[in-house]
Structure 1
Amino acid sequence: MTMTDTQDRPAADDGLTALLRRSPPANPEAERALLGALLTNNKAYERVSDFLIAAHFADPLHGRIFEAIARRIDRGMLADPITMRAEFEHSGLLDEVGGPQYLGQLLMAMVGIVNAGDYGRAIHDAWIRRQLIEIGENVVNNAYGARADLEGSDQIAAAEETLFKLATDKGQDGGFVTFERALTGALQVAEQAFQRTGDVSGLTSGLRDFDKKTGGLHPSDLLILAGRPAMGKTALATKIAFSAARALLREAEDKGTKPRGAVAIFSLEMSSEQLATRILSEQSEVSGEKIRRGDIGQREFDRFVRVSRELSELPLHIDDTPAISLSAMRTRCRRLARTKGLSLVVVDYLQLMRPAIGTKPESRVLEISMITQGLKAIAKELSVPVIALSQLSRQVESREDKRPMLSDLRESGSIEQDADAVMFVYRDEYYLQQRMPKDSAYESMDKYQVAMEEWQRKMALVHNKAELILEKQRHGPTGTIPLYFEGEFTRFGDLDTVHDM
């Protein structure tokens, strides 16, 4: 051992000892001052009631006193030294600190009622720091092998989940909510809807008639958008995601702020470049097929570039990880919610997803059930609408009327049960186009001509038309919503039923 090693060790040991001796962050002066302010003037409670709870106090006794004061104030009763003295004497709460005389000490600790908000924030900040220390200790212990069952990537997800919970729920554990508090939340939602103009109380879908029927896209809802291949599921979902992102951007521009949330698209089938090209094609009115072939003129290319610059400001995020797991999706949604805010999640499509890491479902039906339940849980946890695309079974093709039904959903039981809304996109034009008459199937050209004219008449009736069949809606009416579909740009829009298209 060298002289240097001998000299360095005591210093290192002293540093470690000092580290271990450090007390967790706490602010007992602020706790006493806040309680004194509350006892002096109950109006001070309004300055802290929206973010402070008893669990945030470092001293458990102070937390219990705060809880008792808050309980009386919430009931519309006076909470002062006289009324609280009787309650504390009966419960024996203050015995360990010398009895009800402690209330007088709290009053003396109060510096000013106007500073109650500052006291509360100091208490809350110290609580956050204590929680961060606990989370950090758990991360270190798990990394050393305390949770050998978790791989490194799973430990990252678990740590992010804990941090997200700390950042969003203010330490309030789940449990019963009084009906009074639930009513208050319902009134707030109704007030927000009342103050908005038009028929949309939620996030707009960009489709007029859909928003009228549903009120827009609402937080915590799981919406299933299903259809057979080539019906336009991805195009319709992309239209909704783009419209929501544009609405968020315009709202932010009007207020002079950043968008209050972002739109997340999990594209398990198409790459992010393909999806971006589809949106650019729709907005610039340049055919996606021409873009891929490079068969566009200078004017079209300039328009394409100009629109791409405008769209680059949209709060729209695309994750094209194939076969993403439910765990990874939840982690990425939490991360986006924490950093940018989150207003809508679109999943294309749920049959390509994998269940949570570590689970081994016994059947495909059970696997899909776990995925839909997980998507609903994400919608509730993050308070955002989630739109999940789904494939339909082939039995649709065997019917004369090929409009989908709930029973056509693949592994339909769990999907139908977990969803707040189930809707099908259907285009009669697609199926009718496949039934174009062939001259070889007719005895004479006259009969072929009659059949061709009848087919053309039917095609004219359904040309550029689509249907969004709202088969289930937990919070409103069902029915069929007519849409306009432009195949060249894979673009959906409102169908003008008054004027010629």
Structure 2
Amino acid sequence: MALHDLPHPEETGTDAAPHNIEAEQAFLGALLYDNEVLHRVSDWLRAEHFYDPVHGRIYQATSDRIQRGALADAIVLKTDFERDGGLKEIGGAAYLALLLESASDSVAAVEYAQLIYDLALRRALIRVSAELSHEATEATPETHARNLIESAERKLFQLAETGGNQRGFVSFKDALSESVEMAAAAYEREGGLSGMSSGLRAMDEKLGGLHPSDLIILAGRPSMGKTALATNIAFAVARAYQYSTLPDGAKKTEQGGVVGFFSLEMSAEQLATRLIADYTGIPGYQIRRGDIDPAQYEEIRDAVLEIQGLPLYIDDTGGLSIGALCARARRLKRLHGLDVIVVDYLQLVTASENKASQGRVQEVSEVTQALKALAKELSVPVIALSQLSRQVEQREDKKPQLSDLRESGSIEQDADVVMFVYRESYYKEREKPKEGTPEYLAWEEEFRQIERRAEVIIGKQRHGPIGTVDLAFDAARTKFSDLTRDDRYEGIAH
């Protein structure tokens, strides 16, 4: 009996979803004949991409054996499928032998695998289209068309990225494998850094780097340097960007990353000025006023030529809604890649109208939940800046703590990491006595010791310790940096 004569209950006539049973049979036959074929397709072909569920089970069983270093052929798989009812319906163990007869060569097998994958995406696209049509048809009068568009874009992005709508359940074996890979990456870096480097060694030692799927809250009172620190991190990540090119032409990030910076308070031009000051060492206020000499102008011009190609994308739209922010992040990842998101700042992102009408706490809660979901969906760290309440100013000890977060309940709950930027010199400067007095001399000496010191207080870390990171801060360049060894023991002087 020929393979094409065997019945397939899944074939339902002209209305069946796009599929090609012959391609699936030819590919599986080639895989059983030459197990090396798996290594050319395993990065993107999954069992769920097969239209015939029996074919999907055969592929999964074959993959599991090959990945264990064992042989996978029709004779070996016969034992695995003795009790498989689906296989019995289409010929039983004899079907495996017939697959070998229809095997393609190894070169054609990869093309068949690509066809199987493409047809699976087409079927998923049909399902998504049906869902979107239903949502648009059944939408209530209160549902805004903009929300439907954002929902459509989210589903299409998920389809474009993964070939499926949801990740669904993950086996414990796969979860363990991912955990071991993360530990191996940290071990190979010889520094315990399992995530992406922030560009600050002391912070990396505490956090282990910036981790995909984490929501990191960076909070502080005005003028403490929240935006400066976030900009420094974004700039360091973009400068370190290195990638390799996969066989399909896609880019795989090896180091650093592509950064999406949502600046709801400052303009793109202001952020760019800060980056130039960071890179050149020329104070930002001099650049803004044009108070520079010809040599500095040449230095700035050279700096612009050197850094203009960095993968740092700035969106300075004011009053951006959380739905629009998520849609733009997905679009950036689809078009250019995306490894880190920065949101400056949390309280300026608007929520949906129904949450806004329920009060500020509910509005912020929706924003933080959406940012955490976005971090998981795109598998990138999201750094969101947040303001602190004024109650900090009423305490004698002005070091911030978790209860100082505005609308703190939802922020603290959703965040994986909460960090506070604190500079004692900010408050000490406001205690400045009259010049020429004995009090002034004592104040000046004390202020000199702390003027360029900053602390990043880790108030919460879901997967690590809390504590304080000591950093240096250059106000003229709005730049944070690691302390030198001399700084640690002697303090930082002018």
TM-score band by shorter chain is 0.7 to 0.9
Residue matched to 1:51: 44
User: Structure 1 residues 305, 72: closer, same or farther in 2, change over 3 A?
Assistant: closer
**Structure-2 separation of matches of 1:376 and 1:42:** 40
The yes-or-no answer on 1:475 pairing with 2:463 is: yes
What amino acid does structure 1 have at the position aligned with 2:224? M
Q: CA RMSD in A?
A: 3.1
The yes-or-no answer on 1:365 pairing with 2:361 is: yes
**Structure-2 separation of matches of 1:413 and 1:141:** 36
What amino acid does structure 2 have at the position aligned with 1:336? L
- Counterpart secondary structure, 1:488: coil
Residue matched to 1:315: 311
Q: 1:154 aligns with which of 143, 147, 152?
A: 147
The yes-or-no answer on 1:452 pairing with 2:448 is: no
Q: 1:413 aligns with which of 409, 415, 430?
A: 409
Deviates more, 1:281-290 or 1:341-350: 281-290
Residue matched to 2:7: none
- Counterpart secondary structure, 1:387: strand
User: Structure 1 residues 87, 438: closer, same or farther in 2, change over 3 A?
Assistant: closer
Contact in 2 for aligned 1:47/1:116 (Cα 8 Å) = no
Q: 2:220 aligns with which of 224, 227, 248?
A: 227
Residue matched to 1:293: 289
- CA deviation after TM superposition for structure 1 residue 210, in Å: 0.9
**Structure-2 separation of matches of 1:219 and 1:413:** 23
Q: 1:347 aligns with which of 336, 339, 343?
A: 343
Q: Which runs of 5+ in 2 are unaligned?
A: 1-13
Q: 1:262 aligns with which of 258, 263, 269?
A: 258
Residue matched to 2:25: 32
- CA deviation after TM superposition for structure 1 residue 494, in Å: 1.6
Contact in 1 for aligned 2:158/2:166 (Cα 8 Å) = no
- Deviation by residue 1:234-281 (Cα, 9 ceiling, x = unmatched): 1111111111111115x679xxx9783410111111111111112112
Higher-Rg structure is 1
Residue matched to 2:396: 400
Residue matched to 2:373: 377
Residue matched to 2:6: none
- CA deviation after TM superposition for structure 1 residue 350, in Å: 0.4
- CA deviation after TM superposition for structure 1 residue 327, in Å: 1.1
The yes-or-no answer on 1:464 pairing with 2:452 is: yes
- Counterpart secondary structure, 2:476: helix
User: Structure 1 residues 216, 361: closer, same or farther in 2, change over 3 A?
Assistant: farther
Deviates more, 1:456-465 or 1:106-115: 106-115
- Counterpart secondary structure, 2:458: strand
Q: Higher helix fraction: Structure 1 or Structure 2?
A: 1
- Counterpart secondary structure, 1:342: coil
Residue matched to 1:206: 199
User: Structure 1 residues 107, 336: closer, same or farther in 2, change over 3 A?
Assistant: same
Q: Which runs of 5+ in 1 are unaligned?
A: 1-20, 440-447
Residue matched to 1:105: 98
**Structure-2 separation of matches of 1:25 and 1:289:** 62
- CA deviation after TM superposition for structure 1 residue 116, in Å: 3.6
- Counterpart secondary structure, 1:193: helix
- Counterpart secondary structure, 2:339: strand
Residue matched to 1:18: none
User: Structure 1 residues 290, 77: closer, same or farther in 2, change over 3 A?
Assistant: closer
Q: 2:425 aligns with which of 417, 429, 434?
A: 429
Contact in 2 for aligned 1:325/1:357 (Cα 8 Å) = no
Q: How does 1:103-142 map to 2 (within 5 A)?
A: 103-113=96-106, 115-135=108-128
What amino acid does structure 1 have at the position aligned with 2:379? S
**Structure-2 separation of matches of 1:350 and 1:396:** 19
User: Structure 1 residues 252, 34: closer, same or farther in 2, change over 3 A?
Assistant: closer
Compute the TM-score of the two structures, normalised by the length of structure 2.
0.85
What amino acid does structure 2 have at the position aligned with 1:210? M
User: Structure 1 residues 220, 495: closer, same or farther in 2, change over 3 A?
Assistant: same
Deviates more, 1:69-78 or 1:337-346: 69-78
**Structure-2 separation of matches of 1:75 and 1:493:** 46
Residue matched to 1:13: none
- CA deviation after TM superposition for structure 1 residue 98, in Å: 5.3
Compute the TM-score of the two structures, normalised by the length of structure 1.
0.84
State percent identity of aligned pairs: 50
**Structure-1 separation of matches of 2:201 and 2:69:** 45
